[in-house]
Each structure stands twice: as structure tokens, then as C-alpha cells.
Amino acid sequence: MKILVTGGLGFIGSNFIRHALKARPSWKIVNLDKQTYAGNPANLAGLKVETIKKDICDAKAVDRAMSGCELAVHFAAETHVDRSILDAGAFLKTNILGTQVLLDAALRHKVRRFLHVSTDEVYGSIAKGYSKEGDQLEPNSPYAASKAASDLLVRSYFVTHKAPVITTRASNNYGPYQYPEKALPLMITNFMDGKPFPQYGDGKQVRDWLHAVDHARAILLILEKGVLGEVYNIGGSYTCRNRELIERVLRLMGKNKNLITRVEDRKGHDRRYALDCSKLKRLGFKHAYDFKKGLVETIAWYRANEKWWRPLKVGGGYRSYYRKQYKGR
């Protein structure tokens, strides 16, 4: 079977491809990836994958990549909230227009199943309880708004065109191969270098943590057994405040709290996310990763793979972004 994956050189996409090749070794995977700053060819080194370096907004390239594919899993997106606050344009183009281009190609090529990967951030911040798939979408950042728009576009293609689509919404991911601008790898790699981690505001924001391998496992299950036209939440097995996470990482790494630097909070920063995953559990999903074990393994991975992350952090693009993002904070 031939399957198209978009954004397979990124963090979550590459973890999915690794899992899929183990679980379904007969699959031929075509990876369509623009190879932006977060798309790293090293993430798929040694794996038997055809990678096409093209933009998902390029209709002709998407058409060629989709040809002959029975399944499609759409990861490709601009994903970093902070970057969307600095400049929303790329998020609107890639996350909305790119999704439309892919949906049109999937219809032309009669793809059997098209899975659209989204985020819990589309629900917005909730004071208590858990977000369910049918809840109103209330995105609060340009990134979240672009993903909410793409979710609704996917839904419209199901209603209007009977497109064979499914949407997943996941919580905060962690694990190997995550670009080090994101909170956890930034935390770990900064602490390795004896540098402080910039904590936004009071650090009381609550997040639900999901290991990337569990995310990959859930996506494969939903891709094969999920009901067309439906949305499935994919949450982790652990929620905590950001400050608690920072302090836990410090303890595990044997570092002092003086490596925490409080900075001005992010604009429009959501206080709490939490997902109701009852629907996913009814498909038979069970987590393979306990957060405590997963966090220890993740720290160990970054310690053992400095050759992977070090070049990313010394690159001009990363350093320029870091200075711009935290200047005066």
C-alpha cells in the first residue's frame, strides 16, 4: 500500500513514519515536505522513505505526490505559537491554503482515507473540565486560528464533497526529534549548557503531555479504524503546570532553580488545556508511555544526541529568532 505523509521531516511526522514502518512494513511511504527550518532530513536517516521536497501549496507537486496513494496523513503545518504572533502570514498560507490543495488532490485521486492532524489549541483555554470533540472552537492565537480554520475546511469537504476525512486534535507532544525552540527540548538543551530557561509569566499554565510515539500509535489506529467525518482527541496521560514541569526537569538533570528566568508572559497565553479522550479509548487505544518514564527517556535522548540538536541551535535562523522572541524579557 502506498501512503502520502506531509511534513514527515518534522517532529511528529517523523515519529509517525518511524512507527508506521515498524507496524506496517509493507507500506510504501511518500513524504512531501518543504523542509522549512523545522524539517530535518536527519529525522528519517536510514529509513526507506521517498521524500519529495515541495510545498503543500504547490498544486502540481501535491498532485504528483498524491498519485497512486490510498491513504494520506497530513502533518505539514507552521506550528509554533510564538512565531505566529510575530508573523501570522505563513501560518495562514500553509495551514489553510495548503490543506485545501491537499483535499482537492485527495478527491481527484480518490484517496480512501485522509487524516488531518490538528491541535487541542483550537478549543481555546478552559478553566475546568475537559474539551470534547463537539465543543465550540475558540482559538486565541494566530496559530490556533489557522488550525481551527483548516479543521472547519476539512469538515466542509466531508459535508459538501463526501471526502473520506478524519481529524485528530492532540495535546502537547514531547519526545525525540523535537526542534529545540519548543518548550521541553529548549529546557533540556539550555540546562545542558548551564543556560536559563525563559518561563512565561507565573508558570501556572496547565498542559497535557503526550509522548510522540503514543501520538503516532493513536494516529495509525484512527487512520485504520476511525469513522469518516469524525474528530478524535488524542491526549496524554499527564497534566501539570509549566512551572512544575520545569522544576521536575531540573531535578532529573541535577540542576538548580536559579536556571529559571521569569519573562513577560506570551500575548494571549492560554491558561489551561485538557482533553476528553473517551472517543479514542472506545477504539481500543491505550497509552504505552507513562509520563515519568517518557520524560526520563526524552532527557536521555537529548543528552545522547547532541550532534542532532547542537547544529540547530547554533544556526543563524534559530539564534535570530531566539534573540527577537526574548529581547527585553
How far is it, in rounded angstroms, from Cα 128 to Cα 249?
Answer: 26
Burial label, 121 (beta-carbon count in 10 A; 0-12, 13-18, 19+): buried
104 is an active site residue: no
Q: Which of 55, 78, 121, 133 is catalytic?
A: 121
From the candidates 120, 133, 151, 270, which is the catalytic residue? 120
Cβ atoms of 27 and 1 within 8 Å: the answer is yes
| Catalytic status, residue 120 | yes
Q: How far is CA 37 from the centre of its chain?
A: 15
One-letter amino acid for residue 203 of the chain: G
Q: What angle do CA 82, 85, 86 make, to 5 degrees?
A: 90
Q: Mapping DSSP to helix (H, G, I), strand (E, B) and coil, where does residue 22 land?
A: helix
Residues in the chain: 329
Nearest to 307 by CA among 152, 177, 127, 125: 177
Beta-strand ranges (E) seen in the chain are 2-6, 28-32, 50-52, 71-74, 113-119, 165-170, 172-174, 197-200, 206-211, 231-234, 238-241, 260-263
Query: Dihedrals φ, ψ of 198, to 5°?
Result: -80, 105
Which among 130, 143, 200, 232 is annotated as catalytic? 143
Does residue 143 have an active-site annotation? yes
Residue of 128, 123, 103, 122 lying closest to 113 (CA atoms)? 103
Any idea which residues carry the catalytic annotation?
120-121, 143
